[in-house]
Amino acid sequence: MIELWRLPATELARLVRTREVSAREACQAALERLDAVNPKINAIVAHRPEMVLRQADRIDQLVSRGENPGVLAGVPVTVKVNIDQAGFATTNGTVLQKDLIAKANSPVVDNLVRAGAILLGRSNAPTFALRWFTSNLVHGRTSNPRDPALTPGGSTGGGAAAVTAGIGHLAIGTDTGGSVRYPAYACGVHGLRPTLGRVPAYNASSPERAIGPQLMSSAGPIGRTVDDLRVALAAMAAPDLRDPWWVPAPLEGPAAPLRAAMCVRPGGLPVVKEVEAAVRDAGRRLVDAGWQVDEIDDVPSLNEAAAVQERLWLGNGFAELSEAVARDGDRGALSVVSAFRARVATFEHDLVAHALLRRATATREWRLFLAEFPVLLLPVSAELPFPDGLDLKGEAGFWQVWNAQLVQRGLPAVGLPSLTVSTNLIGSIPVGVEIVASHFREDLCLLAGKAIEARGTPVSPIDPVAIGEIAGTLPEGAA
């Protein structure tokens, strides 16, 4: 008997649409898997089995009537705790919002439901989504299923851990500084950050976001196959008038030459040897698939874009964030605020106006570059996935993490789509590559990602590894 929770989302949806399995059977399998492994990793922090089964029965009724149940028919999906889902708390990982119950779904959740997806549970995230590690005072810590000594990533760490462990077939997260792409990298799966404006976003439960997050945050899927991400994107990108940034751009753009640039050290990033090897391996995989790959020394304005991201993310509303973090008391969030207090004090008075001017220049340079090279291969991070809690190991640990994440920080400032593809394991430690394309060309990211994935990726889903099961130490340069 096939274990339904192991199947790709696309295959499960096909089986449900053709009545080879029922949505209820798929959801019962998902709930059993959640019960079996979630206590080991704490990826899902809220779920209601009776609600899950009611959703499944609705899909089965549509199928029985011969109606179209949607491209994600019967597919269990998890949703990050900073995204509104009616009847659940939009906690954003803070005790200050533990009772903030959403009265309506966010647009992306409504789009998933219309596509036939089953909302399985709420995935964990760090307090205020501030870290590349996942722990908080309201839900606790999430463990990486492949190695509990490693971070599961953040801020969609719960979602990535869940997908890796077979809890749900897709996870939905948000990405302002790598919060979809980095957890996928850390857990050894794939994650797509769509273009700003591709997927509609809005939380009616909360005040309007500051302009910085509005211009940089993007909701995207984490999954075990590139094909699953493609279908998830199509479902998530349906229109919704609540998001004024949403753009009705086609999911498939004009044909482009199979040409990619490869940059091992963007912005002078001092990558460890394992990361360099992974980027070069991905380049060879594309060449094997018929692509032309040109190695380049650097990319446009990445450090400038990262400076813009820093200002729009932390400088815009820093006083209010600091006050909220102080009231919450989470150690990780406090460390971020403490590290940046002095730097934020030096930001220009008319911060947003200056940042938007710099953003326009950087975006122009990136567009011109990507007109020449339709696809760009980059490291996800300067290092292999961090030891869990490295950012709390004093100032040295904090800045080691921050500096390694240049790619994660820079790209959101210019609104580009990018895809993390997991390519290998070094012992128990995942490694992969990031693929970038021009605005609204997620199709090119996915095309290149599919070619890279076809030549090897870590096995998933897996049974979570318990503390003490992995012997040895992190490779040199990983810590």
Whether 206 is catalytic is no
Whether 338 is catalytic is no
Collapsing DSSP to helix, strand or coil, 438 comes out as coil
pLDDT of residue 468: 66
The one catalytic residue in 22, 123, 143, 179 is: 179
**Burial letters for 41-55: b for 16+ Cβ neighbours within 10 Å, e otherwise?**
bbbbbbbebeebbeb
Residue 320 CA from chain centroid, whole number: 26
The kind and range of the H/E element at 171 are strand 170-175
Residue type, 146: R
Q: 323 burial class (0-12, 13-18, 19+ CB within 10 angstroms)?
A: exposed
The kind and range of the H/E element at 175 are strand 170-175
The domains found in the chain, sorted by start residue, are: 7-453 (3.90.1300.10)
DSSP calls for 134-162: -EETTTEEPPPSS-TTB---SSSHHHHHH
The answer to whether 126 and 81 have CB atoms below 8 angstroms apart is no
The one catalytic residue in 80, 335, 381, 460 is: 80
Cα–Cα distances (Å) from 408 to 146, 193, 243, 380, 454, in that order, read: 22, 10, 24, 7, 25
All residue ranges of the chain with pLDDT < 50 are 471-479
Whether 80 is catalytic is yes
- Interval 231-283: pLDDT, tens: 999 999 999 999 999 999 999 999 999 999 999 999 999 999 999 999 999 99
pLDDT of residue 26: 98
The one catalytic residue in 135, 143, 155, 218 is: 155
The answer to whether 120 and 168 have CB atoms below 8 angstroms apart is yes
Nearest Cα to 324, choosing from 14, 92, 31, 2?
Answer: 92
Collapsing DSSP to helix, strand or coil, 380 comes out as coil
The answer to whether 189 and 198 have CB atoms below 8 angstroms apart is no
Report the alpha-carbon distance of residue 116 to residue 105 in Å, rounded. Answer: 15
